[in-house]
Structure 1
Amino acid sequence: MTDSTAGPRALATLTDIRVFDYLCQAPATRTQIAAELGISKPTASQAISRLQENGLAVSIERANEPKRGRVPEHYALDSSFGHLLALCLQAEYLQMRATDLSGKTLVDRLYPLTAHTSATEVEQMAAREVARVAGELKSPLLAGAVSQSAPVLREGNPRVRPTPIFPSSGANLAGAFPDGIEVLLDNDVNWMAVAEAGQSNQSLMMLYIGSGLGAGLVIDGQLHRGKHGTAGELETQLIGDSNLREALGAAGMFQTRVLWEKLADKRNWPAFFAPLSQVLSNLIGFVDPERVVAIGPGLTPEMCLDFERELNQKLLEPVQIQLSTLGTDAAARGALAGARELALDHLWENYRVR
């Protein structure tokens, strides 16, 4: 246990964390911080001073601030302390997003992929762009996260199991980060579930329908990955003697990169809903989540409502399928939330109160 988490300095560190979290929302004066957090002005001033000494806060000038009399100083998060970086791989694109610790987006880029883009090509692209962003931002990389549209096995060193959906799915994107940077690796639907759940303590099932299928499980506010990291993998769930992927393939619904395009035609919905509802009804009946949320390209409220009717015919207690509002941001948001938590754990563990 470090000096910052034990002994007489612990209270000061906890105060600094509260002030830091407040500054992550918006710049503020010492008076505002004291009033909002319910602490004295001297305590707020001491916390600000310690955050400045550790490179976390900076005094700023506010535009259009009245110049008459004594102008109170405003303080903000110092973005030069460092940044977070997420790489998100889907069948259609590679996304790179960097933020500071407040969540402010510093870089956000999409690199289109084709049906023939190889894993090696994606790895080279990712390594090149990670180095490019480091040169542009000129601040330390604090932590990274990778989101991949493929199963991620977690026994031993986390690794990706390639999927037949697209040839670059098994790319080693964690290897694109510099040595010494800790990187979190998970599949895209798990990160989407993290983003959707936010700070809630609810239980949530996130259903992804796009180039492939997947589910993410949040139980009592915590992402459930399972021993091997494969919790929520839908395509291998059995329906009779076939798995879901094979059942959908036999119905002409599951081919590389075109599942969501086929769903644009309402005539294909029954062939898709029937086997998927069999699998999901078992999972929902067993887990009994408080929320079921769907996400993916091409999903509509009408489609969710029709699938909800099909699904509820098989459930003891009916559920409502909500359409996520996060869209293509979901995986990146979840991945960066994971990277931020990792970076802050390291920060406060090694924080020094002078």
Structure 2
Amino acid sequence: MTGEPLVLGVDLGGTKSAASLLTLSGETRFRIAVPTQAERGAGAVIATLIFLAQTAQNAAPDPAALIGCGVSAGAPVDALRGIVFPAPNLPGFPPETPLAQILADTTGLLTHLENDADATALAEYRFGAGQGTQTMAFLTVGTGIGAGLIIGGKLHRGAFGAGGEIGHVCVDTSSAARVCNCGLRGCLEAYASGVSVLKIAIENGYSGEPTGVAVANAARSGDRAAQEAFADAADKLGRGLATLAMLLNPERIVLGTLAVHASDLLLAPAIASMRRHAWNRVTENLSVVPAALGDRAQDLAALCAYLAQSGESGAGNPPPPKSGASDKTCFVLRTAPHLPTNETGDTINAVSGVV
């Protein structure tokens, strides 16, 4: 090996998926991202992940520098077996998909898998807003809601790999409770995820552009329907945070995705709701803060998915990586014949990095 050690990171999301090459200190050397197109089914999604992994692997200046592959998956997983289970945001997957083995067979690399909330919790703990803590929780508030739990400096996956599924904690027991994508009623995710906020705003009478950014801007501009959707989301999110605070008693809760992009609409009212529903001695010294990693979170989550099970990382928190891409990376928008295609045969655009 002549170059610096690199980890191949793969991120499986409900909307977008990506692959990257990262140094052990968290610098991105290459990145490519495409739409997941989960509606096409498991076979198409796995084919996309294989394409992404192979593209990133082929971009490595020294193939021998690749020491392993980390996968961050937006779905329930059995991390130690490398298995992905079906998820509402990834329809059509069989009961157990051996995703880690599939990508290991594709790349020839030792491959480790984590749930995306767990992997991002590790990334924020190691590189971002969780630095300096021993007990913290990370909540992803995006297409769905999940949590990653760090207890005593270690990731807590739970006995069956389902630790941190706070998105499916019940926050509404009324007869009018909303039905969640998981099939249960009253789940936090049914009220406070980005998709749910938009859906509720539309039900309330919002008629603007159907995107999370647009509905947040509408709320800021005084749109009553959008404001009511965010107010209800913040109240329900606070109830979920109160449950988490009472059970885990963490030093810090880090909120990601929607809670970052719309922190002015969600953060303060969610904290106020949390304090109404939890003991003061549990919340008075608890800090609830936005995630710090921004657009780099997915790449660093995939890196940490590998490091968490490989023992490569060592103890403690290393210095945080530079924000943005490294000076050795150039990001471009490109369309190429070998990219995956949609149902009409049109080539999908991909954002990729060139070393």
TM-score, normalisation: structure 2: 0.65
1:95 aligns with 2:18: yes
Matching residue of 1:291: 252
Query: Could you tell me how far 1:202 is from its partner in structure 2?
Result: 2.0
- Residue by residue over 1:226-249, the C-alpha shift from the partner in whole angstroms, topping out at 9 and shown as x without a partner, is 111111002332454879834457
In the aligned structure 2, how far is the partner of 1:345 from the partner of 1:248? 41
CA contact (8 A) 2:144 2:189 kept: no
Aligned to 1:194: 122
Letter of the 2:293 counterpart: L
Query: Residue in 2 aligned with 1:305?
Result: 268
Distance 1:124 1:83, change over 3 A: same
- 1:1-354 matches, cutoff 5 A: 55=1, 78-79=2-3, 82-114=5-37, 116-137=39-60, 138-140=62-64, 141-154=66-79, 157-167=81-91, 173-174=99-100, 175-178=102-105, 180-198=108-126, 200-239=132-171, 240=173, 245=180, 246-248=184-186, 253=191, 257=195, 259=197, 261=211, 264=216, 265-297=226-258, 298-317=261-280, 318=283, 319-340=286-307, 345=312
> CA offsets, 1:242-279, max 9 Å, x none?
79834457997479945465673221023323444333
Amino acid in the other structure paired with 2:14:
A
CA contact (8 A) 1:206 1:292 kept: yes
1:186 Cα deviation (Å)? 0.9
Tell me the alpha carbon deviations over residues 11-44 of structure 1, each in whole angstroms, 9 at most, x when there is no partner.
xxxxxxxxxxxxxxxxxxxxxxxxxxxxxxxxxx
Q: 1:295 to 1:164 in 2, by over 3 A?
A: same
> Structure 2: how far apart are the matches of 1:148 and 1:107?
19
Tell me if the contact between 2:71 and 2:305 (Cα under 8 Å) persists in the aligned partners.
Answer: no
Structure 1 gaps, min length 5? 1-54, 56-77, 348-354
- Greater Rg over alpha carbons, structure: 1
8 Å Cα contact 2:141-2:193 kept in structure 1: no
Deviation at 1:153, TM superposition (A): 2.6
What count of residue pairs does the alignment treat as equivalent? 269
Question: Aligned partner of 2:270: which letter?
Answer: F
Moved more, 141-150 or 106-115: 106-115
Q: Letter of the aligned partner of 1:312 in structure 2?
A: R
**CA distance in structure 2 between the partners assigned to 1:153 and 1:343 by the alignment:** 16
* Structure of greater relative contact order (alpha carbons < 8 Å, 6+ residues apart): 2
CA change 1:143–1:238 in 2 (3 A) is same
Identity, % of aligned positions: 22
Q: Secondary structure at the match of 1:215?
A: strand
SS in 2 for 1:98: strand
Encode CA deviations 1:317-351: one digit per residue, 9 max, x unaligned. Answer: 2343211121232232132134246556499xxxx
CA distance in 1, matches of 2:13, 2:93: 8
The AA in structure 1 aligned to 2:262 is: L
Equivalent residues of 1:247, 1:275 under 8 A apart: no
* SS across alignment from 2:292: coil
Q: TM-score when scaled to structure 1?
A: 0.66
DSSP 3-state at the match of 1:116:
helix
Q: Cα deviations across residues 36-92 of structure 1 (Å, max 9, x unaligned)?
A: xxxxxxxxxxxxxxxxxxx5xxxxxxxxxxxxxxxxxxxxxx526x42111111111
Relative distance call for 1:243 and 1:292 in structure 2 (3 A) is farther
* CA-CA distance at 1:315 after TM superposition: 1.4
1:174-201 deviation per Cα after TM superposition (whole angstroms, max 9, x unaligned): 2123365221111111111111111644
How big is each residue's C-alpha offset from its partner over 1:283-334, in whole Å with a ceiling of 9 and x where there is no partner? 2112110001110143323421111111111111234321112123223213
